[in-house]
Structure 1
Amino acid sequence: AVRLSAEVCLLAAIKVCLLAAIKAGTTTIFDHHASPSALE
């Protein structure tokens, strides 16, 4: 049995989402934080 780490699962999920966005014609993706005080 192969065990996947949380990091590998996260990277796979990001890759799937990015490929879906590219296929749909998305040209820009950005991350918006509405809580500036939450930044380290």
Structure 2
Amino acid sequence: MHLLHEQGILRCAMDTSDGLAPSLVELAQVNGMTIQVRLETM
């Protein structure tokens, strides 16, 4: 990840070790949005 950042390819990253759902919720919250995931489509 550090190499990607040094090359200007990566600007940000999130730790998803707790799962994707908490990351999606956090992204929605910090952007003042809500999120709806239809699990049957995944």
TM-score range, shorter chain: 0.3 to 0.5
Structure of greater Rg: 1
Using structure 1 for the length normalisation, give the TM-score.
0.37
**TM-score normalised to structure 2 length:** 0.36
More helix by share: 1
Structure with the bigger RCO (C-alpha within 8 Å, sep 6+) is 2
